[in-house]
């Protein structure tokens, strides 16, 4: 998958989470974003924001998640002495459960696959063609 296809795929996912129903809406990422922001405002009236602690396992996932929060005008933060992998945010439970986390998981899955493909390609073309995992062997007994 090349960079252009990756971006197109991410925009389609965004449109699906925004509730787009026609091809024209799916192509209009701006409209999708506006729809999600409107939904967030409506949800916050019924389900007020609470403080969430998200722990993300790698820097790519963390960067993606922080960008998603900022996209929806949600301010990510960390408390002093919290790990770099921790992201705090004040957001409604409904929005996290129905939109934010499912959307993040879809984006993250695609981004990880893309980064894995690129990493394998770079390694196999520049370091060694075999970029497979190390062989698992039985531990030898000490004699």
H or E segment to which residue 133 belongs: none
Do 90 and 52 contact (CB within 8 A), yes or no? yes
The alpha carbon torsion through 5, 8, 14, 17 (nearest 10 deg) reads: -80
Predicted TM-score (pTM) of the model is 0.72
Phi-psi region of 91 (alpha: psi -120 to 50; beta: other; left: phi over 0): beta
Question: Which tens digits make up the pLDDT trace of 31-88?
Answer: 766 777 777 788 778 888 999 999 999 999 999 999 999 999 999 999 999 999 999 9
Give residue 27's pLDDT band: very low, low, confident or very high (50, 70, 90).
Answer: low
């Amino acid at each position: 998958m090349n960079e252009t296809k990756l971006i197109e795929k991410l925009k389609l996912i965004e449109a699906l989470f925004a509730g787009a129903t026609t091809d024209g809406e799916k192509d209009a990422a701006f409209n999708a974003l506006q729809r999600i922001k409107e939904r967030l405002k409506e949800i916050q009236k019924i389900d007020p924001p609470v403080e969430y602690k998200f722990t993300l396992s790698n820097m790519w996932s963390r960067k993606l998640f922080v960008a998603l929060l900022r996209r929806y005008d949600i301010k990510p933060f960390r408390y002093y002495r919290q790990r770099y992998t921790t992201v705090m945010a004040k957001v409604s439970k409904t929005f996290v459960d129905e939109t934010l986390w499912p959307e993040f998981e879809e984006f993250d899955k695609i981004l990880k696959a893309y980064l894995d493909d690129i990493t394998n390609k770079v390694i196999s073309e520049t370091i060694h063609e075999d970029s497979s995992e190390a062989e698992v062997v039985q531990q030898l007994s000490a004699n």
